[in-house]
Chains A and B, each alone.
Chain A
Amino acid sequence: MIRGNQSFQKAANIALVMREIRHRSPISRTEISQVLGLTKSTVSTIVADLLEVGLLNESNLVPSETKGGRPRMKLELKKETACIVGVELDPSRYKSVIIDIDGTEISRSTGTIREDRRSKSWHPDPVSAFDSVFQEIRQQVESVHLPVIGIGVGIPGYIEPVKGRILRSTAFDVENMDYTRPLSEKYELPILVENDANCIAWGEIAAEESSDGSPEKPYENLITVLLQMHRDLQGRHLQSSPGIGCGIVMDGMVRYGENFAAGEFHSYRWHTESPGQLGSVHGGREAEDESRFIEEMLEELFQNLSLGVSLLSPARVVYAGDLLEYEGQMKRILSERMAGSFINPEVSGIPIDAARFGESAVAAGAAFMLLERLFLLPEVGRTRPEGMPTWNDVISKLRAETK
């Protein structure tokens, strides 16, 4: 919500100061001023606002290095001032995670989409699904007693995060839906939407932000893989084929490509009779076929993934969703049958790990998507989601809360 050059500059300066405090805390005003090249008075004014609303802690940690000088006051992010909610929406269930502004997880929960929100064809309307979830996460939020900066929502499908639109979601059976604007207006909160596999990527990038500054950059270039079997509450498959999505991180940024379509999974074994994204797996999956089905699916998934790994040379592949359930089979297939599919030892030796937030990776990532964007320098461009708050907005909100 940036208006005019002055407001933009102010928002950029606050983001710069917050980034420095996040990465180098505890840090003094003078050090921030030196590192950023901002005047001491600019830094002091920004810090005063941030202290006033409780986003920072100030402590007298280190004696001044100058003889006889005053001890320098050190600044760091203050926990438990405000929170961000992340939600993973699936046709039948949801997961939510609440994080602090320093990325600490405060709580997580999981639940089902209420029956009355689901249509006869099991496809719920994603707006109604969110309404159903919101009532439940409202209680979760109230229990942590913190103002909410915003909500990030992870949804399967083609998502246009800048305009908050669902371009197409097979799981929810919707196309070209203006999603976040009506929800943001209804709940008077910034609500952002992102593709679910991209959410995992945001969660992993956040891990880099909180890492110890090691020269290794495990999160700078990575591929995330999310597999969802879309089962109903009785464990029955809701779709004839699993949903598979990838997130691509290149040079530390989630990559969207043209029309926000990067990271699409489409097997080269797919053919016109294939029910979904895979080609080798056919319908009619009875219980006794389940094991064979999983085996075929995993092999085809990783055969295709080897193309992506060869082409992008990532540092890691991160998996989540129902792949967590098949870890044993997956690793066996990779070691027994996939040798020789990756381009060379440097690339084939890359780690293939579970996402850092495990089964809540999409929900946590949806929250981190909003948090990481808050710490990014505000930009007037195609990658800034409409309704994305700045630190100015956060400060205003916290001021209003304390009145």
Chain B
Amino acid sequence: MSRYLGIDLGGSTIKWTVLENSAFTPVETEETPGDKKAILSSLSGIIEREERLRGAMTAVCIGTPGLVDGKGRIRGDAVNLPGWGNQSPGGSFGTLGDRSPIVKNDGSLATLAEARLGAARDRRNVVGIFIGTGIGGGLIIDGNIYEGTAHLAGEVGHVVVEPGGAPCPCGKRGCVERYSSGTGMVRLAQEEADRIDSPLAEFLRKKNSEIIANGQEAREFSAERMYQDFYPTDELARTVHEISVDRLARLVGALINILAPEKLVLGGGVMKSADPILRSLKKKLPQYAVQEISKGCHIVPASLGSGAGAIGAALYASSITD
């Protein structure tokens, strides 16, 4: 009996599912611990529990944010997993118990899941962009994950869309993540609040005063909240939305022009506010994508939700070991 465990290791949660007899178990979730040792212990625990419950796993695949090379090493520091960079050969996770897991980029795995079972089901050439705290993505070419020569293809978050723009923790300036991710939008709102007076600007100024007074972070503000409570009536929210969608459109336009995919799937936490983002993106796109190509590419919201990474990990494990 073949059995595959797919795990999605995110900055705040670990999600997993088991693929057995062409069916997935419901995606389970637990909180991501704070340090590397505790994360490894959590991962070992998940593998052990699932094997005790269902039997030995044929293969285990872990999806992780950041650049993952052909040997399963996380290159540089993943934004959500600080301190994991450039681990020893054999994978960033080494051996978990008696398992040597396959390690892949989480965006590639989520795109694989959407291409096989989700919003781009049965499409063979698909691009995925997932907008959350950061921006991840993946390329599916001829039905399989395309990794390129350095195994870094599809790392869409750090594509420079504004040369000389906002500095990024990756070392470059103007990465799309600095404008169009959840953290990018919060950053933009903080910056633009000095220039634009609006209820959102007022809210942020109040929060900033609290930060200064209490030394705490303004946890209450996020891109999701901006869309929920301020957009579209608030001028600052509209400005942030405009800039963020424009930079996203540059990325999407480049992807469409280069690859002419059948479908482009947009997912991730920020895309819970998919309607205004998708609407504005489609309006902006003619500026950045060639019309003949973009009319052949359908831009659709992801359909598998937050479990896509785990489902994709299990699918990938099965596809390379079957």
* CA gap between A313 and B154 in the complex, in Å: 8
Q: What's the minimum C-beta distance from A272 to chain B, rounded to whole angstroms?
A: 8
Indicate whether A341 sits within 8 Å of B172 (C-beta atoms), given known contacts A264-B293, A270-B287, A310-B160.
yes
Q: Does any Cβ of B come within 8 Å of A343's Cβ?
A: yes
Contact B159 A251 (CB under 8 A): no
How would residues 12 to 51 of chain B score, 1 for a CB under 8 Å from any chain A CB and 0 otherwise?
0000000000000000000000000000000000000000
Q: What's the minimum C-beta distance from A219 to chain B, rounded to whole angstroms?
A: 10
Contact B260 A303 (CB under 8 A): no
Q: What's the minimum C-beta distance from B265 to chain A, rounded to whole angstroms?
A: 15
Q: What's the minimum C-beta distance from B49 to chain A, rounded to whole angstroms?
A: 36
Contact A266 B149 (CB under 8 A): no
* CA gap between A266 and B290 in the complex, in Å: 7
Q: What's the minimum C-beta distance from A264 to chain B, rounded to whole angstroms?
A: 4
Contact B148 A261 (CB under 8 A): no
Question: Contacting A311 at CB < 8 Å: which of B150, B153, B172, B173?
Answer: B153
How would residues 84 to 106 of chain B score, 1 for a CB under 8 Å from any chain A CB and 0 otherwise?
00000000000000000000000
Contact A268 B152 (CB under 8 A): no
Contact A262 B259 (CB under 8 A): yes
Stretch at the interface among A64-72, A252-260, A285-293: A252-260
Please indicate which of the listed interface residues A168, A271, A347 has the most CB atoms of chain B within 10 Å of its own CB: A347
Identify which of residues 69-126 in chain B touch chain A, using a CB-to-CB cut-off of 8 Å: 69, 75-76, 125
Q: Does any Cβ of B come within 8 Å of A301's Cβ?
A: no
Question: Contacting B163 at CB < 8 Å: which of A217, A260, A341, A350?
Answer: A341
Which chain B residues border A256 with CB–CB below 8 Å? 260
Which chain A residues border B152 with CB–CB below 8 Å? 313, 343-344, 346-347
Indicate whether A310 sits within 8 Å of B159 (C-beta atoms), given known contacts A259-B260, A340-B171.
yes
Which chain B residues border A167 with CB–CB below 8 Å? 292
Closest to A307 in B: B254
Indicate whether A217 sits within 8 Å of B149 (C-beta atoms), given known contacts A255-B141, A341-B172, A344-B170.
yes
Contact A306 B160 (CB under 8 A): yes
Contact A340 B172 (CB under 8 A): yes
Which chain B residues border A314 with CB–CB below 8 Å? 148-149
Closest to B253 in A: A268
Contact B156 A313 (CB under 8 A): no
Q: What's the minimum C-beta distance from B133 to chain A, rounded to whole angstroms?
A: 19
A-B contact count (CB 8 A): 139
Q: Does any Cβ of B come within 8 Å of A308's Cβ?
A: yes
Which chain B residues border A77 with CB–CB below 8 Å? none
* CA gap between A221 and B93 in the complex, in Å: 28
Q: Does any Cβ of B come within 8 Å of A265's Cβ?
A: yes
Q: Does any Cβ of A come within 8 Å of B270's Cβ?
A: no
Contact A257 B260 (CB under 8 A): yes
Q: Does any Cβ of B come within 8 Å of A58's Cβ?
A: no
Contact A262 B159 (CB under 8 A): no
Q: What's the minimum C-beta distance from B155 to chain A, rounded to whole angstroms?
A: 6
Identify which of residues 126-181 in chain B touch chain A, using a CB-to-CB cut-off of 8 Å: 139, 141-142, 146-156, 158-161, 163, 170-173
Q: What's the minimum C-beta distance from B108 to chain A, rounded to whole angstroms?
A: 12
Closest to A258 in B: B296
Q: Does any Cβ of A come within 8 Å of B9's Cβ?
A: no
Contact B292 A261 (CB under 8 A): yes
Q: Does any Cβ of B come within 8 Å of A388's Cβ?
A: no
Contact B258 A248 (CB under 8 A): yes
Q: What's the minimum C-beta distance from A156 to chain B, rounded to whole angstroms?
A: 14
Q: Does any Cβ of B come within 8 Å of A263's Cβ?
A: yes
Contact A246 B172 (CB under 8 A): no
Contact A258 B260 (CB under 8 A): yes
Indicate whether A307 sits within 8 Å of B161 (C-beta atoms), given known contacts A264-B260, A340-B171, A343-B155.
yes
Please indicate which of the listed interface residues A256, A310, A313, A344 has the most CB atoms of chain B within 10 Å of its own CB: A310
Question: Contacting B258 at CB < 8 Å: which of A262, A271, A303, A315?
Answer: A262
How would residues 157 to 187 of chain A score, 1 for a CB under 8 Å from any chain B CB and 0 otherwise?
0100000000110000000000000000000
Indicate whether A311 sits within 8 Å of B154 (C-beta atoms), given known contacts A258-B297, A259-B296, A268-B254.
yes
How would residues 136 to 162 of chain A score, 1 for a CB under 8 Å from any chain B CB and 0 otherwise?
000000000000000000000010000
* CA gap between A266 and B254 in the complex, in Å: 8
Task: Say whether chain A's binding surface is mostly helix, strand, loop, or mixed.
Answer: loop
Q: Does any Cβ of B come within 8 Å of A31's Cβ?
A: no
Closest to B249 in A: A268
Contact A266 B289 (CB under 8 A): yes
Q: What's the minimum C-beta distance from A157 to chain B, rounded to whole angstroms?
A: 11
* CA gap between A142 and B147 in the complex, in Å: 46
* CA gap between A271 and B262 in the complex, in Å: 25
Q: Does any Cβ of B come within 8 Å of A304's Cβ?
A: yes
* CA gap between A158 and B260 in the complex, in Å: 12
Contact A246 B146 (CB under 8 A): no
Q: Does any Cβ of A come within 8 Å of B230's Cβ?
A: no
Contact A313 B253 (CB under 8 A): no
Q: Does any Cβ of A come within 8 Å of B67's Cβ?
A: yes
* CA gap between A311 and B153 in the complex, in Å: 5
Identify which of residues 292-311 in chain B touch chain A, using a CB-to-CB cut-off of 8 Å: 292-293, 296-297
Q: What's the minimum C-beta distance from A7 to chain B, rounded to whole angstroms?
A: 27
Question: Contacting A307 at CB < 8 Å: which of B125, B154, B251?
Answer: B251
Identify which of residues 247-266 in chain B touch chain A, using a CB-to-CB cut-off of 8 Å: 250-251, 253-255, 257-262
Question: Contacting B288 at CB < 8 Å: which of A266, A311, A343?
Answer: A266
Contact A268 B292 (CB under 8 A): no
Q: Does any Cβ of B come within 8 Å of A125's Cβ?
A: no
Indicate whether A307 sits within 8 Å of B260 (C-beta atoms), given known contacts A257-B293, A259-B293, A268-B254.
no
Q: What's the minimum C-beta distance from A169 to chain B, rounded to whole angstroms?
A: 12
* CA gap between A343 and B172 in the complex, in Å: 8
Q: What's the minimum C-beta distance from B215 to chain A, rounded to whole angstroms?
A: 34
Contact A311 B159 (CB under 8 A): yes
Contact A258 B153 (CB under 8 A): no
Q: Does any Cβ of B come within 8 Å of A47's Cβ?
A: no
Indicate whether A266 sits within 8 Å of B253 (C-beta atoms), given known contacts A251-B146, A312-B258.
yes
Q: Can you give 8 A-B contacts (C-beta < 8 A)? A: A257-B125, A263-B258, A266-B288, A311-B255, A313-B151, A340-B172, A343-B170, A346-B69
User: What are the nearest 7 A-B pairs in CB distance?
Assistant: A257-B260, A313-B148, A315-B149, A313-B153, A261-B260, A258-B296, A262-B260
Residues of chain A at the chain B interface (Cβ within 8 Å)? 158, 167-168, 217, 220-221, 246, 248, 250-251, 255-266, 268, 270-272, 303-304, 306-308, 310-315, 340-341, 343-344, 346-347, 350
